[in-house]
Every structure is written in C-alpha cells, then in structure tokens.
C-alpha cells in the first residue's frame, strides 16, 4: 500500500468528486471533501465533508488548511449542453473565481500538488465541424477558439496553472475530460449530460413510443465511464506530466447510436423525434489518446455498452423511485 496522504477533493458533492473520494478512501488516504452542496444520492465517504463556497478566497483557504498534500480541484459550475450554452456569464464568473482562488489558496497553504479539471470544450471549434471528426490532440486547443463561456474560462485556468508553475515552481496537473458518465450522476434538471438524459428519457418512455433528441442525432462524441475517469485522475496526479492531457475514450459514437444502445439495454423499441432547434454543441468531438498512453502507460478501457449496462439500471431505479414519490407511494 502507498503512503497515506492528506488529500482535498473539491466538487466532492458532485458526480466525479464523489466517486474519487470513495476510491481514495479505499486506497487508505485521509480525504477532505469540499463543495457548495453535499452528495445527492449517497453519504460522502470523506473523513471531513465541508460545505463551502469556493468562489470565496476565505473558503478556499479553509478548505486547504492542515498540511494537505494533494488537491483535486473538480469544483465547477457546469452541466449539459443546454445549461452551458444558456448561462455564459454565470458559469464564467463562478468558475474563474473558484479556479483562481483554489489555485492561490493551495499554493499559499503549502499543498504539494494541484490537479485542475479542464474540459474538451477548450478545443478549437473549427476542428469539430464534421461528425467524422479527426481525434483531438492536446495541441489542437491553439490557436484558441474554444466554446463560449465554459470553454474560455477552462482554457484560461489551464494557463493560470502553467503560470503558477513557471513563477512559483508550484506543481500543477491539467486534465481535459471528455464526457464522463455513470451511476450517481445528475440525470434531470438541465445539468445532465447526454448519456444520463437519454437514459432518463428511455426509462420514462413506453415501449413503442417516441423520445425527443436534440439535433439530427448524427453529432458525434466519445463517452468515458466514471471508473476509468477516476483511475486516470489518480495516475495523472502521480505522474510528472505538467501539460494538459486528454482523459477520455476514443470510441466515437453518434447520439442516434447512443439512443439505440440504451434502448437495447432497456429492451425497448423507440422512435426518435429530432428537435432541430435544440442545442447540440459542436458537430463532432473525439479524444486522441496517443499522449495519454505515452504518459501514463494506460488509457480508458470500459466500452460504452459496458458502462451503460451499469448506468441505465441505476437511472431507471431513480426515475421509478421519483415516480412513486410523486404518486405518494412508499417505494421501500
């Protein structure tokens, strides 16, 4: 077993952060979680779970107190394509404050390593106009033309991490997530990602009925199961790689195929009704994992079908429970 560390996970009330805390605890580390909210579906496994507003420097200094060795900064105001295209000002302001204050507080409180969670939204939009997209290499973020709001603030925070290493020799790591999904993730309310949103729609649909899909469904993405994401985060933190690194699968799929896979898992035949006015983001996006393999000697290996077989039943159970609660029925 590796030496026990004192680790802070911000965003520990959220999806990836909650899974990361559980994994770090299994490895024997002392873990503090910090977020503006508690985990929604399970009690946190953290030794300390603190409700803090990380937009405030005072709260960031509080979160990083007490000889913390490593910080996984996953806290962010974010959501699915509908949310991030409708809230540019709020998202940009909130995340710039979180990222700048967390980075500075970590440095000032003597943290040894700081990992920043960036996003594939930083990539140049001109390289993502074809559903048969060429997989994105890390250098494809420049010349800069990221997605408005969320993409721009992530790209700037990456630069800020580099400045803290250059100016202060503060060890930072930068990961670019590509569409993470799995159980215990948001599945309704507007902040859910495509796999969760479609799983919810399929769970609610009667066999033989129709479900609404944003766009023509031919837009392409790759999706990474949360266990692979957590494994990659831990490996990157332990590495000596300071430049931005993709973390995703390179299994490209259309949204239409995503619907088909989930429908097969559910045992339903459904008709797709395409809403061409709904937000759909870039036309195509995939992760080039060449540098990931070279750097970590590893890459995500859980297939989309395998991950959805674990994700769909959880979302179906949540939707069923929600329906029972609305009907005033005790589901226990």
Give the contacts of 163 (CB within 8 A, at least 6 positions apart): none
Q: Quick one: average pLDDT of 293-300?
A: 98
Q: What percent of the chain has pLDDT over 90?
A: 89
Mean pLDDT of 325-329: 62
Q: What is the mean pLDDT of residues 218-235?
A: 97
DSSP string, 76-119: ----SHHHHTT-HHHHHHHHHHHHHHHHHHHHHTT-SEEEEEEE
pLDDT given at position 321: 81
Average per-residue pLDDT in the chain? 95
Let me know if 164 is a catalytic residue: no
What token pair was written down for 223?
């999706």
Give 5-43 pLDDT, tens digit per residue: 999 999 999 999 999 999 999 999 999 999 999 999 999
Mean pLDDT of 92-99: 98
DSSP 65: T
194-221+252-285+302-326: same fold as 6-181+224-247? no
User: Given this model, what pLDDT does residue 190 score?
Assistant: 84
* The pLDDT of residue 59 is above 80: yes
- Classify domain 194-221+252-285+302-326 at the CATH class level: alpha beta
pLDDT at 3: 85
pLDDT at 330 over 70: no
Positive or negative, the CA dihedral 261, 263, 264, 266 is: positive
Q: HSE on the CB side for 81, CA within 13 Å? A: 17
Of residues 133 and 96, more confidence is placed in 96
Q: Report d(CA 332, CA 323) in Å as an integer.
A: 13
Going by pLDDT thresholds of 50, 70 and 90, the confidence category of residue 331 is very low
Residue 1 has pLDDT above 60, yes or no: no
Q: Where are the beta strands (DSSP E) in 62-188?
A: 70-73, 113-119, 171-177, 180-181
Whole-structure pTM value: 0.94
Average pLDDT of the segment spanning 121-136: 93
pLDDT digits (tens, 9 = 90+) for 245-260: 999 999 999 999 999 9
CA–CA distance, 231 with 249 (Å, rounded to integer): 13
Please tell me the distance from the alpha carbon of residue 16 to that of residue 11, in angstroms, as a whole number: 8
Contact indicator for 182, 123 with CB cutoff of 8 Å: no
pLDDT for res 332: 45
Q: Which of 72, 83, 107, 150 is catalytic?
A: 150
Q: Is the pLDDT of residue 81 over 90?
A: no
Closest CA to 179 of 250, 116, 241: 250
Helix (H, G, I), strand (E, B) or coil at 177: strand
Q: Please compute the mean of the pLDDT values over residues 85-113 and round it to a whole number.
A: 97
Q: Where are the domains of the chain?
A: 6-181+224-247, 194-221+252-285+302-326
Q: Looking at residue 323, what is its pLDDT?
A: 67
CATH for the 6-181+224-247 domain, from 3.40.50.720, 3.40.50.300, 3.10.20.30, 3.40.350.10 = 3.40.50.720
Percent of the chain at pLDDT exceeding 70: 96
Interatomic CA distance for residues 170 and 172, integer angstroms: 6
Sign, CA dihedral 146-91-23-103, equals positive
Contacts of residue 281, Cβ cutoff 8 Å, sequence gap at least 6: 81, 85, 147, 219
Pull the structure tokens for residue 203: 């769970």
């Amino acid at each position: 077993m590796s030496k026990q560390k004192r680790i802070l996970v911000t965003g520990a009330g959220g999806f990836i952060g909650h899974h990361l805390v559980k994994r770090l605890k299994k490895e024997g580390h002392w873990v503090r979680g910090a977020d503006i909210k508690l985990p929604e579906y399970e009690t946190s496994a953290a030794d300390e779970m603190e409700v803090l507003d990380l937009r405030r420097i005072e709260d960031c200094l509080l979160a990083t107190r007490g000889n913390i060795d490593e910080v996984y900064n996953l806290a962010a105001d974010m959501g699915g394509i509908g949310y991030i295209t409708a809230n540019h000002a709020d998202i940009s302001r909130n995340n710039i404050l979180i990222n700048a204050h967390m980075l500075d507080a970590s440095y000032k409180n003597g943290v040894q390593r700081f990992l920043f969670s960036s996003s594939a939204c930083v990539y140049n939009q001109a390289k993502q106009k074809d559903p048969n997209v060429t997989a994105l290499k890390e250098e494809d973020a420049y010349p800069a033309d990221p997605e408005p709001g969320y993409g721009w603030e992530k790209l700037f925070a990456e630069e800020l991490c580099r400045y803290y290493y250059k100016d202060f020799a503060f060890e930072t790591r930068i990961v670019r997530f590509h569409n993470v999904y799995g159980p215990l993730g948001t599945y309704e309310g507007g902040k859910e990602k495509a796999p969760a949103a479609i799983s919810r729609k399929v769970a609610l649909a009667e066999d033989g009925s129709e479900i609404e899909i944003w766009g023509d469904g031919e837009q392409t993405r790759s999706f990474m199961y949360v266990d692979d994401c957590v494994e990659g985060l831990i490996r990157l933190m332990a590495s000596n790689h300071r430049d931005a690194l993709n973390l995703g699968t390179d299994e490209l799929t259309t949204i239409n195929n995503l619907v088909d896979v989930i429908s097969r898992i559910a045992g339903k035949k459904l008709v797709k009704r395409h809403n061409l006015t709904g937000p759909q983001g870039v036309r195509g996006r995939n992760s080039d994992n060449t540098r990931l393999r070279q750097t970590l000697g590893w890459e995500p290996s859980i297939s989309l079908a395998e991950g959805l077989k674990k994700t769909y039943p959880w979302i179906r159970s949540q939707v069923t429970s929600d329906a029972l609660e609305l009907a005033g029925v005790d589901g226990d």
